[in-house]
Amino acid sequence: MRLLVIGGGGREHALAWKLKQSPRISKVFVAPGNAGTALEEGLENLPIITIQGLLEFAKNESIAFTVVGSEAFLAEGIVDIFRAAGLKIFGPTKQAARLETSKNYSKAFMYRHGIPTAAYATFSDPVKAHEFINHKNVPIVIKADGLAAGKGVVVAMTLTDAHLAIDAILVNRSMGSAGLKIVIEEFLEGEEVSFIVMIDGRHVLPLATSQDHKRLKDGDNGPNTGGMGAHSPAPVITLELHARIMCEVIQPVMSGMEQEGEHYTGFLYAGLMISKNGEIKVLEFNCRMGDPETQPIMLRLKSDLSVLIEHAIDEMLDKIDINWDCRVALGVVMATCGYPEMSRKGDIIHGLLDFTVTEKLKKDFYIFHAGTAIGGNNGQEIVTTGGRVLCVTALGDSVKTAQLRAYKITERIHFDGCQMRHDIGHLAID
Ligand code: AMP
Ligand code: GLY
């Protein structure tokens, strides 16, 4: 079977890498992919970026099914278009993907269906937004309504910063059309976890739990990013909490969608805040796998991902079990100079191509690529293309061992201006 994965980030490298491990799969095409997917045996990058082009390719090349990694394509309705052409694809429809593509829709949906989330109000008029926050306490959270590649949220510690954020988004249009509206949200305290499931429209299969590290700097300081590292599992999610998340969050999304005439299919990512007293609140939904959570999750997955996704496409997720490596996986993101505000491009990455390790160690880590391409002066080097560049992911018997292994590997890789955190996994270790 030949498969197609859509996207070019770290999560797509991890998904394609895992899919290719199946003996049933002869090739996985990745559109557009990155240097990691270009160099991987059994994967092939496709320089196609339009839905129409991808549709033609999938038809002509007898692609068994397509997996959508990128939210931008979901927002454009790739699932609706592929299905209308009779092609198999795993992901939500354009309407269902509004859970991610519009914060305003997502909050209203949660309120309609009793899903716990922070109190909020939506504004398109900056004057009303300024007036509203004058009566509020800080911290307060300002979010652009639309897709903003992890840059649309400001956690304002002072009212001055909150006013500035309102003007930046609504007046100066810093987020373009993603900021035609803003959602202003109550600030939540607690521990953040990522809860990702597969949904086939009728059944849910939870994946291993994980924890992201959103802030740029050690100790959870600095600006929000797409995520600077992750580990799986998230020890804060006990069996009891797991059952409550399924019941308070995931099931109501499925039944709510059904009541509104939609069947949710695809990965569903709930970003959750767990308060000190165990209260669960949804921070956000993503309609795809998380990045960098996918990288440690895929390293732990023992089941055949292609079989899982086929079951999901055929509405048979209730007929399959999922198996995990019981060890911890931990991924450290190496990002470019200037990320997240202004990413630099074109730095040569040293230490990747001459990476040699023993066969035994090989099984226990993987370097997933994100913002990389093949280029440089001789056209044969690996260079950065901006944003998050690599996610060095390692397995270990404990969080500490996985952490030590991952950081040891990062020491062998260099590019100018590299930024990374040095404390990924700190909450789990504490
Ligand atoms: P979102 O894209 O909505 O998940 O927001 C990005 C990040 O901002 C989250 O992962 C949190 O770290 C932070 N955040 C978002 N909403 C809130 C909130 N209501 N209270 C506290 N932190 C938040
Ligand atoms: N790690 C958060 C995200 O994928 O949006």
Over residues 291-300, the pLDDT tens digits come to: 999 999 999 9
User: For residue 324, how many C-alpha atoms fall within 13 Å in the half-sphere facing its CB?
Assistant: 16
Taking the CA of residue 230 as reference, the ligand 2 atom at the shortest distance is 1
Q: How far is the CA of 141 from the centre of ligand 1 (A)?
A: 7
Is residue 148 predicted with pLDDT exceeding 90? no
Average confidence (pLDDT) over 361-379: 88
**Any idea what the CATH number is for the domain that residue 419 is in?**
3.90.600.10
Pocket test for ligand 2, best of 70, 273, 286 (most atoms within 8 A of CB): 286
Pocket test for ligand 1, best of 221, 284, 427 (most atoms within 8 A of CB): 284
184-194 per-position pLDDT tens digit: 999 999 999 99
Pocket of ligand 2 (CB under 6 A): 150, 212, 226-227, 286, 290-291, 293
Q: Are residues 200 and 309 in the same domain?
A: yes
Taking the CA of residue 291 as reference, the ligand 2 atom at the shortest distance is 4
Q: Residue 135's pLDDT is what?
A: 87
Answer yes or no: is 109 within a domain. no
Give the domain extent around 210: 191-319
**Rounded Cα gap, residues 118 and 292, in angstroms:** 24
Is residue 401 predicted with pLDDT exceeding 70? yes
Is residue 102 predicted with pLDDT exceeding 90? yes
Q: Residue 149's pLDDT is what?
A: 79
Q: Are residues 378 and 288 in the same domain?
A: no
Taking the CA of residue 118 as reference, the ligand 1 atom at the shortest distance is 19
Q: Of 73, 93, 113, which residue is a domain's last?
A: 93
Is residue 308 predicted with pLDDT exceeding 80? yes
Q: Are residues 129 and 161 in the same domain?
A: yes
Answer yes or no: is 176 within a domain. yes
Is residue 133 predicted with pLDDT exceeding 90? yes
Q: Are residues 235 and 175 in the same domain?
A: no
Q: Of 259, 291, 319, which residue is a domain's last?
A: 319
Higher pLDDT, 7 or 360: 7
Answer yes or no: is 101 within a domain. no
Q: Residue 250's pLDDT is what?
A: 98
pTM above 0.75, yes or no: yes
- The torsion angle over the Cα atoms of residues 406, 409, 411 and 414, rounded to 10 degrees, is -110
Q: How far is the CA of 59 from the centre of ligand 2 (A)?
A: 31
Average confidence (pLDDT) over 227-233: 97
Q: Are residues 130 and 244 in the same domain?
A: no
Q: How far is the CA of 288 from the centre of ligand 2 (A)?
A: 9
Average confidence (pLDDT) over 348-374: 83
Q: Residue 183's pLDDT is what?
A: 97
Answer yes or no: is 185 within a domain. no
Residue nearest (by alpha carbon) to ligand 1 atom 4: 284
Answer yes or no: is 154 within a domain. yes
Q: How far is the CA of 354 from the centre of ligand 1 (A)?
A: 39
Pocket of ligand 1 (CB under 6 A): 118, 141, 143, 153, 155, 185-188, 192, 214, 224, 271, 283-284
Q: Are residues 333 and 407 in the same domain?
A: yes
Answer yes or no: is 266 within a domain. yes
Q: Are residues 268 and 380 in the same domain?
A: no
Q: Are residues 151 and 219 in the same domain?
A: no
What is the share, in percent, of the chain residues with pLDDT greater than 90? 92
Q: Residue 358's pLDDT is what?
A: 63
Q: Are residues 199 and 230 in the same domain?
A: yes
Answer yes or no: is 79 within a domain. yes
Q: Of 300, 319, 338, which residue is a domain's last?
A: 319
Q: Are residues 338 and 315 in the same domain?
A: no
53-95 per-position pLDDT tens digit: 999 999 999 999 999 999 999 999 999 999 999 999 999 999 9
Q: Residue 92's pLDDT is what?
A: 98
Q: Residue 315's pLDDT is what?
A: 97
Q: Are residues 55 and 156 in the same domain?
A: no
**Domain count of the fold of the chain:** 4
Of the ligands numbered here, which is closest to the C-alpha atom of 212?
2
Q: Are residues 314 and 333 in the same domain?
A: no
Q: Residue 334's pLDDT is what?
A: 98
Taking the CA of residue 143 as reference, the ligand 1 atom at the shortest distance is 3
Answer yes or no: is 115 within a domain. no
Q: Give backbone dihedrals phi and psi of 405, rounded to 5 degrees, phi first.
A: -60, -45
Pocket test for ligand 2, best of 12, 194, 289 (most atoms within 8 A of CB): 194
